[in-house]
């Protein structure tokens, strides 16, 4: 079964159209997207005729909508099946064989979904209607998150996996862009892992995106896949304004930042100007008193 349908189908039902809206169904190129090696196309003609094409080889048959059962009867030399409607809109037709627990047939309207990516289309529909989003993990699994205010995936997002609670733990996105910690199906922390060159070798620090300055007390520090040992680590590269960090129990205990040369110059110039203003004020006061 298309695994994504197990999670999406219960939410799609409320957005489904009726097959009584035949204008969306008839004379459209409906492509079967299941586990079938050849392109299989169905065209439901307005007069009840069915055109079925497999890689250009055509056979004809009939189709009939049975309103009382919300069902579609399809008959040809190779098919004689009764389908129940699972979902229908202008882009996707999901049909379940009557009395069967098999995967719904997923047909895509090639005019609406040229790439035939039914999963992407349905997820976009659900995301827009129910304010949801999805994050692909490096494990190949997906985590669904609530996105009510269109703020994206962030700290505090409520998450689910296959419609179920997400086990507590640390997860990494498929593109390695960031990591996040989950507790009670909620994102506790979202961070990136940056590698720095120090006098004791390379270390990796879990940094929170957008922080300035980027390194803070309490951030986790790694040496390879293990927590960094208790030590002072002096930075050798220019990727951070920090001079060194002290690590205790695998976290930053203290950060020493290098003074910014431009800031020092600005402060010196400002101090000189202030001193000149004071001197000029004293001179003017002395001059006024002489008069």
pLDDT digit string (tens) for 220-231? 999 998 999 999
C-beta of residue 52 within 8 angstroms of C-beta of residue 44: no
Q: Where in the chain is the domain with CATH 2.40.128.640?
A: 3-124
CA distances from 53 to 42, 147, 167, 205, 230 (A): 7, 41, 46, 57, 69
**Nearest of 269, 168, 85, 58 to residue 159 by alpha carbon:** 168
3-124: CATH topology is Lipocalin (2.40.128)
Output the 3-class SS for 21-51: CHHHHCCCCEEECCCCCCCEEEEECCCCEEE
Distance CA 101, CA 119 (A): 20
Segment holding 262, helix H or strand E? helix 261-290
Structure tokens at 122: 């349905």
Predicted confidence at residue 43, as pLDDT, reads 97
Distance CA 182, CA 156 (A): 9
Residues of the chain with pLDDT under 50: 1
Predicted confidence at residue 183, as pLDDT, reads 93
- N- to C-terminal Cα separation, the chain: 100
Predicted confidence at residue 286, as pLDDT, reads 67
CA distances from 135 to 146, 148, 173 (A): 11, 15, 7
C-beta of residue 97 within 8 angstroms of C-beta of residue 88: no
Sign of the CA dihedral running 217, 222, 223, 226: positive
- Spatial strand order in the sheet of 132-136: 132-136, 142-146, 159-161, 164-165
Backbone angles phi, psi at 194, to 5 degrees: -105, 140
C-beta of residue 168 within 8 angstroms of C-beta of residue 182: yes
pLDDT digit string (tens) for 53-91? 999 899 999 999 999 999 999 999 989 999 999 999 999
Distance CA 184, CA 186 (A): 5
Predicted confidence at residue 1, as pLDDT, reads 42
Structure tokens at 30: 């409906």
Distance CA 118, CA 107 (A): 8
Name 30's Cβ contacts closer than 8 Å, sequence gap at least 6: 41, 42, 43, 44, 93, 107, 108, 109, 110
pTM over 0.85: no
């Amino acid at each position: 079964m298309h695994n994504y349908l197990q999670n999406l189908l219960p939410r799609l039902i409320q957005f489904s159209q009726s097959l009584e809206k035949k204008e969306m169904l008839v004379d459209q190129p409906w492509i079967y997207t299941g586990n079938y090696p050849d392109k299989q196309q169905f065209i439901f003609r307005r007069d009840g005729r069915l055109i079925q094409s497999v890689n250009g080889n055509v056979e004809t048959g009939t189709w009939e909508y049975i309103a009382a059962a919300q069902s579609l009867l399809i008959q040809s030399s190779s098919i004689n099946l009764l389908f129940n409607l699972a979902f229908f809109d202008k882009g996707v037709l999901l049909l379940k064989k009557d009395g069967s627990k098999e995967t719904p047939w997923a047909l895509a309207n090639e005019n609406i979904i040229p790439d035939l990516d039914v999963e992407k289309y349905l997820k976009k529909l659900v995301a827009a209607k129910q304010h949801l989003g999805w994050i692909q993990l490096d494990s190949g699994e997906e985590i669904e998150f609530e996105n009510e205010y269109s703020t994206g995936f962030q700290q505090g997002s409520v998450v689910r996996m296959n419609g179920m609670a997400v086990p507590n733990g640390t997860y990494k996105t498929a593109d390695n862009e960031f990591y996040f910690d989950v507790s009670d199906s909620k994102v506790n922390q979202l961070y990136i892992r940056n590698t720095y060159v120090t006098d004791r070798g390379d270390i990796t620090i879990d940094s929170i995106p957008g922080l300035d300055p980027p390194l803070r007390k309490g951030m986790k520090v790694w040496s390879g896949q293990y927590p960094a040992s208790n030590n002072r680590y002096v930075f050798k590269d220019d990727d951070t304004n920090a001079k060194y960090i002290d690590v205790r129990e695998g976290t930053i205990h203290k950060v020493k930042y290098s003074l910014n040369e431009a800031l020092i110059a600005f402060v010196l110039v400002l101090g000189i100007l202030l001193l000149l203003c004071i001197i000029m004020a004293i001179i003017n006061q002395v001059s006024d008193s002489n008069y």
